[in-house]
Structure 1
Amino acid sequence: MEISAEQMTLIKTHLRVDGNTEDALIAAYTAAAVDYVEKFCDGALVESLTPVSEDTEPPREVLFTSGIWAAMLLLIGHWYANREAVNVGNITSELPLGVEALLMQHRRWH
């Protein structure tokens, strides 16, 4: 899935970033968020689903929704604010109704 210029502007607004000096970093986090969602949900993010015919197996696609967008913003924001793998001196916990809660309804179960 390609991120549009409009979506990148919304991401930067979410991160409270002015200017373009960190655009490459934000783009990397955005690509990682797309990858995370596609792996978690087991399908390619798409704007519209491919029509299914009776003779073929449906493609592994996940419809890009506002919930998925919100989960991606949470992921990107977390990675942007916490740039290291270790958090020293702080108590951390997972937010209820966070990323997994937003994505769980889109996950494909085998």
Structure 2
Amino acid sequence: MIDLSTIKQHCNIEIDFTDDDNLLNIYMKMAAQYVSNVTRRNLYYSTEDEDYKNDPQPLLVDELIIGAMLQLIGHWYENREAINIGNITSEIPITATMLLQPYIIYGV
């Protein structure tokens, strides 16, 4: 998983501010699941994982995937509700989609 201090740095949150740590951890898990769902692949953080060795199409987390996950986490942190009244609405950042594009398995 992504280190909480990295997530806080990305979201411009002071490292000493811990009130939202649980929420950020939830968003981190959501982002990992989102990446797995979009790419139709299982995420692994190490090639030493036994499941990684037996998975026909494993996805080893690299900087592009971490970047996409940080984009998602930052978006969800800033936009906590399904509806945003009084502001310009925005979809999940296109950057995340672009970063994940090379990893997506189509036609499965």
TM-score above 0.5, yes or no:
yes
Looking at structure 2, the residues matched to 34 and 76 of structure 1 have their Cα atoms a distance apart, in angstroms, of: 10
Looking at structure 1, the residues matched to 92 and 28 of structure 2 have their Cα atoms a distance apart, in angstroms, of: 20
Output the TM-score relative to the length of structure 1.
0.79
Looking at structure 2, the residues matched to 31 and 51 of structure 1 have their Cα atoms a distance apart, in angstroms, of: 23
* Residue matched to 2:84: 87
Structure 2 stretches lacking a partner, 5+ long: none
Is residue 14 of structure 1 aligned with residue 13 of structure 2?
no
Tell me: CA distance 1:97–1:29, structure 2 relative to 1, closer, same or farther (3 Å).
closer
| Partner secondary structure for residue 80 of structure 2 | coil
* Residue matched to 1:55: none
Output the TM-score relative to the length of structure 2.
0.80
- Bigger CA radius of gyration: 1
* Residue matched to 1:76: 73
Is residue 23 of structure 1 aligned with residue 16 of structure 2?
no
Q: Percent identity?
A: 37
Give the total of aligned pairs: 101
* Residue matched to 1:64: 61
Higher helix fraction (1 or 2): 2
Root mean square deviation of aligned Cα: 2.1
| Partner secondary structure for residue 20 of structure 1 | coil
The equivalences for 1:89-104 within 5 A come to 89-94=86-91, 97-104=94-101
Show CA shifts across 1:60-82 (max 9, x none). Answer: 42121111111100000000001
